[in-house]
Amino acid sequence: MAVKSLPPQRQGMKRKTRENVAGWLFLTPYLISLIVFTFGAIAYAVYVSFTDLKLFGEANYVGLGTYGRVLDPNNPLNKFWKALGNTVIFSVIVVFFQTWLAILFAVVLNSKIRGQRFFRIAWYLPSVTASVVISLIFFWMYKQQGVINYALGGIINNTLGLVGIHFEPVAWLDNTTTALPAIMTMNIFTTIPTFMVMFLAGLQDIPTDIYEAAKIDGASARRMFWSITLPLLRPVIFLVTVLGTIGTLQVFDQIYVMTNEGGPLDSTLTVAYLIWFEAFKRNNLARSAAISFILFVVIFIFFLVQRRFLDKNATD
Amino acid sequence: MATQAKTLTNSSVVGEQAEQSGPLYIVGQVVKYGLLILMTLILLGPFVLAFFGSFKSVNEVLSSPPTLWPQNWQPENYSRVWNAQQASGDDFITQFFKAIGLGTSLFPRWLFNSVFLAAIHVVLQLFLCSLAAYAFARLDFKGKNLVFTLMLATLMIPGVALLMPRYFIINQINLVNTYWAVILPSAVGAGGIFLLTQFFRSIPKDLEEAAAIDGAGLFTTYSRVILPLAKPALATLAVLEFQGSWNDFQNPLIFLNTPDYFPLTVGLSALKDGYSSQVNLILAASMFNTIPAILIFAFFSRYFVEGSTYAGVKG
């Protein structure tokens, strides 16, 4: 930019100084965005969380008062703990299944099969579709007369039915016990493919002669999976777990589209939904900001735990 | 799950030297391909059902037992969705749509908004991320490592925690309910900069040195030497950014409140509230979002695979 047309007297400027100036110039657009939309936003959120600001009102400093009210376990109208519980259950279960299934899928697709290219593309498809569209499709399939009940009924009644166990159609999203698991299942389905591709790349980085050597030593395939494949995939497992956790702790779109404000009876209410709800439906900005900050802390704690157990560089 | 993994690794690793004939081998192959096809059905089934469902009548789409192939095709679902709602305002784009004979239907406007926002996002991200990436990959300046570390740290910040404060920053500069509100906060991002920085670092320095001897400035080196060599990485970022913007729901939901400005995703959610009983229409509307996404993926699948880490970062 400015560097391109340096005035003559500055041509002699030392290369080092020139790079110092140019470096910051090239970074300027990103820095503006970082300062305004990240640091500015964080500063604003932290400030608001120490006040009692509502959409139409004055901000009075209340210290930790808003946090105290958000964390108050005795107020039956306080939905934070319910939302946090749902979110943590959602995250732990979804991340566990999506990671293991993604490894399994990757190992399958990495083996010698015909039509490998077709399967890779077909299996990736759920990852390219908008969460809103997936939610709308599953909203329809989860209905009482929907295809999921039909399929489950067909499978269960024709097998377990012989020993007297019968399946009755369930309105999956209208039931406090089934709504959250139904959304979790859908989420696992849509996130596996992205992570599968990351594991495929990881598998291809493992040199084949390690397996050859293990085979000569008489190692079983099972032993090789647990002693070679999994340990060498550890960096990818760490990355996938961290990304999966950050993503699932923020689940929002699915709840917004598939449920009625986190219902029935708050059984699908998540922290991310509560952040949006407090700010834009209840106009309670202070509460929304405080919950946002608590969510950030929760995500950071999850990250530290995962780094402790999964990242082998962390102990250095 | 563990037992399945065992048998599958078994076939992959030992497969080469395993007996290529005999009844056991054939049974193994049948089981393997059976599982592959079952998995494919589970993963693709919802989309196939939704596609056929979009051509059914209301009664058939909610019938029990469900049908796969429509009993009587109802392609008019698509035209009904197209004309479902009318634009409320009369801005420049609405007038243009009227002039070219599209009328005042909202649906084509939503499609336009989605394409427009995605295109702007792609152009801005490519330009602004590559500028920053060039600085990180090639220039030596004070504070570089600090900014780079800070940038990586921002990837840890939950996006949803920034939504509310960002709304009020956008509100301060009077941009709520404009395209700018959706464009500006995601015009440049850490994920894209990181992806391009990694690629720029892998480009050999010889060509730049030759350009420097010829007297090229840094900006010329960036635009004439680095950018042409980085086409694969730029293409990856472009494809991922298009998809990210095309599918984005949260940002437009918060920053836009006039239906005329909605992208398709937010429009679909609004349609669901208005037509909750007419699932066939909702499914038809969904196809306008899904089919372009699938086509882009089909043509550019290799870029999706190369950028999977970035896609993961974006959540």
Predicted ipTM of the assembly: 0.86
Whether the CB of A116 is below 8 Å from some CB of chain B: the reply is no
What is the model's pLDDT at position B12?
44
Q: What is the mean pLDDT of residues A242-263?
A: 91
Instruction: Label residues A244-282 b or e (16+ Cβ within 10 Å = b).
Output: bbbbbbbbbbbbbbbbeebebebbbbbbbbbbbbbbbee
pLDDT at A1: 43
Contact B167, A279 (CB under 8 A): yes
> Is the CB of A249 inside 8 Å of chain B's CB atoms?
yes
Q: Hey, what amino acid is at B211?
A: A
What is the percent of chain B with per-residue pLDDT over 90, rounded to a whole number? 41
- Tell if the CB–CB gap between B5 and A103 is shorter than 8 Å: yes
Predicted TM-score (pTM) of this structure: 0.87
Q: What is the mean pLDDT of residues B252-268?
A: 93
The pLDDT of residue A229 is above 80: yes
A199 touching chain B per CB within 8 A? no
* Exposure of B170 in the CB half-sphere (CA atoms within 13 A): 25
pLDDT confidence band for A12 (50 / 70 / 90): low
What distances in angstroms separate CA A301 from CA A83, A297, B156, one per listed residue?
Answer: 17, 6, 11
Q: Taking all residues of chain A, what is their mean pLDDT, rounded to a whole number?
A: 87
Q: What's the whole-number mean pLDDT along residues A208-221?
A: 86
Average pLDDT over residues B298-312: 69
pLDDT band at residue B21, thresholds of 50, 70 and 90? low
**How far is B144 from B141, CA to CA, in rounded Å?**
6
Task: Give how far B305 is from chain A: nearest CA, Å.
Answer: 6
Whether residue B62 and residue A143 make contact (CB cut-off 8 A), yes or no, is: yes
Confidence of residue B209 (pLDDT cuts 50, 70, 90): confident
**If you average pLDDT over residues B76-100, what whole number do you get?**
83
Residue of B nearest to A49 (CA): B165
Question: Which of A129, A221, A275 is facing B161, going by the closest CB pair?
Answer: A275
Could you tell me if B132 lies within 8 Å of chain A, comparing CB atoms?
yes
Minimal CA–CA distance to A202: which of A224, A235, A227, A242?
A235
Q: Is A155 on the interface with B (CB under 8 A)?
A: no
Q: How far is B259 from chain A (nearest CA, A)?
A: 17
Q: Which of A41, A122, A197 sits opposite B43 (nearest CB)?
A: A122
| Token reading at B194 | 């990181």
**A167 at interface of B, judged by CB pairs closer than 8 A:** no
**Whether B37 contacts chain A with CB within 8 A:** no
Phi, psi (rounded to 5 degrees) for B86:
-110, 150
What is the distance in angstroms between the Cα of B288 and the nearest Cα belonging to chain A?
Answer: 10
Return the residue in A3, A31, A120, A132 with the most chain B beta carbons within 10 A, the one to mutate for interface testing: A132
**How near does any CA of chain A get to the CA of B90, in Å?**
27
Give the pLDDT confidence score for residue B204 in this predicted structure: 87
Count interface pairs A-B at CB distance under 8 A. Answer: 305
d(CA A42, CA B227): 34
pLDDT at residue B18 above 60?
no
Instruction: Determine the Cα–Cα distance for residues B136 and A108; give it in Å rounded to an integer.
Output: 38
- For helices B106-138 and B231-247, what crossing angle results, to 10°? 140
Would you call A132 and B6 a contact, using CB atoms and an 8 Å cutoff?
no
A119 CB neighbours in chain B (<8 A) are 36, 40
Query: What is the least distance, in Å, from the CA of A281 to any CA of chain B?
Result: 11
